[in-house]
Structure 1
Amino acid sequence: MTDRIILLQAPGGVAQFRIEDQRSDPPGNGEITIRHEAIGTNFLDIYHRQGIYPLPSYPAVIGAEAAGIVEAVGSDVADFNPGDRVAYAGPPVGAYCSTRNIASEKVIRLPDAVSFQTAASSLLKGMTAYMLLEKIYDVREGSTVLIHAAAGGLGSILVRWAKSLNASVIGTVSTSEKASRAASYGADHLIVGREADIVAEVKRLTGGIGVDVAYDGIGGDMLLKTIRSVRPFGTAVTIGQAAGPVPPVAVEELRPGKSLCHPSIMAWCSDIGRYRDAAQAAIRALETGIVAEIAAEYALADVARAHEEMETGRAAGSILLIP
């Protein structure tokens, strides 16, 4: 089988992807070579492809998580051997390829109980959930949280993780089918439909108070509704813009004492200590079943179709690329 690499020639649509045969170099000092078994996709990849989050230069290879088998180790690498099952997530991007050389400190050993597909679909999302639920806001027993797109890849993990912390979860979904999925993940209450009055429903469900913390990966006009769904001195967290750029928000919307936070898992993981803490926490969560459902698998060469499906928002779960 020919190894392949996906090059993004310039920011733009899926036509900017170019598939090439990959020539692999041996791992350098402190690096290992991983043969990918599964590659995860995230909305982050779309933001990189579109240029919303620009890359340093082009052509570029995107992709922030993958799982596979160690094929070779460079000098000064003592923790891994060929044949080890491993995964990684976070910066630097470059996962859309058959094999990859990567610094060994970025690599996490994969327990036998966690499949390559599960790791590739859920590691970065699990790390994001850890950051959001345990670091950005300390969700605990008695907390009430609002999670948008509760049946999606990240949303499903957020629901499951929040429930593991004994929080009460209000989720929003676009269809009754997705509501059934989100309910199976543990959501206590679901607001269904794109035209639902989310603020009114949240207030009704919380006795007029609002939620302690709300997680919004939708963007567009949703952020204002999210802020208005948060209780006084609660926190609204914006983590994406699947529905479009976030418009300016008047500071008066934060009265009385609401916080608005815009964290980045990639920035969080730029510190190797934080990265490894988050990755190990996510692996432990994956072992307990806090995972994203896999909505579809595409061959690496079909990356354009995978991105198109992601952008429709129809997929209830994660989409994988298989080299």
Structure 2
Amino acid sequence: MVRAVRIEEVGGPEVMALREVPLEPPGPGMAQVENRAIGLNFIDTYHRGGLYPIPLPSGLGTEGAGVVVAVGEGADVAVGDRVAYCSAGLGSYAEAVNLPAARLVPVPDGVDFDIAAAAMLKGQTAEYLLRRCYALREGQTCLFHAAAGGVGLIFGQWARALGATVIGTVGSADKVDIALAHGYNHVINYREEDVAQAVADLTGGVGVPVVYDGVGRDTFEVSLNCLQPRGLMVSFGNASGAPEPLDLQRLAAGGSLYITRPTLVSYTASTEDLRQSAAAVFERILDGSVQVAIGQRYALADIVRAHRDLEARRTTGSTILEPR
């Protein structure tokens, strides 16, 4: 038996409960991972709240890091391996979990479990956004919303290391300072400034070639207004809710704009892509160009409070759940 968070129905944070549940030995191609650290991500609230439907009852959580303690036939990992994961299925909010071995990535020496669990989903998201969805180049300027969030802090450092000029948006003066300390050249407090006007001022009226928007409804139109002609809007999340349906004529009016709605799942669909993406993240951590900020920690028993704080935007950087 292991302790794990379960939900019987979708709803607010109160639908989550920590329970003792059975954990069978891993089957063929599976591995059992004893979690040492668990990542908390906004997508977890989408699963819990029903925005992204899941079969019920269910576990929650997609990210963690720990040690392989048992393997099934054909698994390409071994007992004792240090591994991390963020796209292996639901159920990371647990002391231990069975996962497909092909969705596990090796954690190199020099990266501890807390950092691995904090960096996997956010780091791999930043990796595909700036290396593969739109390959940022030295000298280019980009805009990233929610710059003081977990993905935002990694993105800012990585983009700055590439030689890009990085503009971020945040919602408070404290978060301005945090973003500036993590690679952003310019930070706009959207509660005090008109974002589109500020971007126009910073770019000499030209706009940016790409906007990375994980906020959704609240920033969608603003993002389009910040683009230069033939610019790309990367809408990769819905933290404020799903945007309204888009009239394609809006893209024409903005100057032949492009839009994409990517997901990490698509960009790490193969084991090769998954492990190459993770290796790129860990390489940046080890060479010091990306430092992962763990802003808060919660015991697994405090999962309800953790979700409430996350949804109220009271968190900064990455959040770790401690399984024991």
TM-score, scaled to structure 1 = 0.95
Q: Could you tell me how far apart the structure 1 residues matched to 2:88 and 2:99 are?
A: 10
Q: Could you tell me how far apart the structure 2 residues matched to 1:195 and 1:166 are?
A: 28
Counterparts in 2 of 1:112 and 1:273: CA distance versus 1, 3 Å:
closer
Superposed counterparts of 1:58-137, under 5 Å: 58-77=56-75, 79-137=76-134
Q: Is the 8 A contact 1:126 1:285 kept in 2?
A: no
Structure 1: stretches of 5+ with no match in the other structure: none
Q: Could you tell me how far apart the structure 1 residues matched to 2:131 and 2:236 are?
A: 15
1:156 aligns to 2:145 (yes or no)? no
Post-superposition offset of 1:71: 1.0
TM-score, scaled to structure 2 = 0.94
Post-superposition offset of 1:195: 4.1
Give the match for residue 317 of structure 1. Answer: 317
Q: Is the 8 A contact 2:234 2:260 kept in 1?
A: yes
Match of 1:187 among 184, 188, 198: 184
Give the match for residue 305 of structure 1. Answer: 305
Counterparts in 2 of 1:62 and 1:269: CA distance versus 1, 3 Å:
farther
Q: Could you tell me how far apart the structure 2 residues matched to 1:315 and 1:225 are?
A: 24
Q: Is the 8 A contact 1:154 1:292 kept in 2?
A: no
Post-superposition offset of 1:273: 3.0
- Aligned partner letter, 2:139: G
Q: Is the 8 A contact 2:87 2:265 kept in 1?
A: yes
1:270 aligns to 2:269 (yes or no)? yes
Q: Could you tell me how far apart the structure 2 residues matched to 1:34 and 1:91 are?
A: 12
Secondary structure of residue in 1 paired with 2:59: coil
- Aligned partner letter, 1:227: L
- Aligned partner letter, 2:304: A
Q: Could you tell me how far apart the structure 2 residues matched to 1:291 and 1:32 are?
A: 29
- Aligned partner letter, 2:153: S
Q: Is the 8 A contact 1:228 1:253 kept in 2?
A: no
Q: Could you tell me how far apart the structure 2 residues matched to 1:267 and 1:91 are?
A: 13
Q: Is the 8 A contact 2:285 2:292 kept in 1?
A: no
- Aligned partner letter, 1:266: V
1:260 aligns to 2:238 (yes or no)? no
Q: Could you tell me how far apart the structure 2 residues matched to 1:271 and 1:104 are?
A: 12
Post-superposition offset of 1:235: 0.6
Q: Could you tell me how far apart the structure 1 residues matched to 2:311 and 2:304 are?
A: 11
Structure 2: stretches of 5+ with no match in the other structure: none
Q: Could you tell me how far apart the structure 1 residues matched to 2:317 and 2:82 are?
A: 24
Number of aligned pairs?
Answer: 320
Give the match for residue 30 of structure 2. Answer: 31
1:243 aligns to 2:252 (yes or no)? no
Q: Is the 8 A contact 2:144 2:212 kept in 1?
A: yes
Superposed counterparts of 1:177-256, under 5 Å: 177-255=174-252, 256=255
Post-superposition offset of 1:284: 1.8
Structure 1 residues 31-83: Cα deviation after superposition (integer angstroms, max 9, x where no partner): 2111001110111101111111111x101112111001111122223x43322
Q: Is the 8 A contact 1:9 1:18 kept in 2?
A: no
Q: Could you tell me how far apart the structure 1 residues matched to 2:156 and 2:216 are?
A: 19
Post-superposition offset of 1:11: 1.3
Q: Could you tell me how far apart the structure 1 residues matched to 2:69 and 2:250 are?
A: 53
Q: Could you tell me how far apart the structure 1 residues matched to 2:245 and 2:24 are?
A: 46
Counterparts in 2 of 1:230 and 1:91: CA distance versus 1, 3 Å:
farther
Give the match for residue 54 of structure 1. Answer: 53
Give the match for residue 44 of structure 1. Answer: 43
Structure 1 residues 175-231: Cα deviation after superposition (integer angstroms, max 9, x where no partner): 121111111111111112424200000011001000111111111231100011011
Q: Could you tell me how far apart the structure 2 residues matched to 1:172 and 1:75 are?
A: 48
Q: Could you tell me how far apart the structure 2 residues matched to 1:48 and 1:169 are?
A: 31
Secondary structure of residue in 1 paired with 2:262: coil
Secondary structure of residue in 2 paired with 1:111: coil
1:140 aligns to 2:133 (yes or no)? no
Give the match for residue 281 of structure 2. Answer: 282
- Aligned partner letter, 2:316: A
Q: Is the 8 A contact 1:122 1:291 kept in 2?
A: no
Q: Is the 8 A contact 2:10 2:48 kept in 1?
A: yes
Q: Could you tell me how far apart the structure 1 residues matched to 2:120 and 2:43 are?
A: 14
User: What RMSD, in angstroms, separates the aligned Cα atoms of the two structures?
Assistant: 1.5
Q: Could you tell me how far apart the structure 2 residues matched to 1:111 and 1:181 are?
A: 28
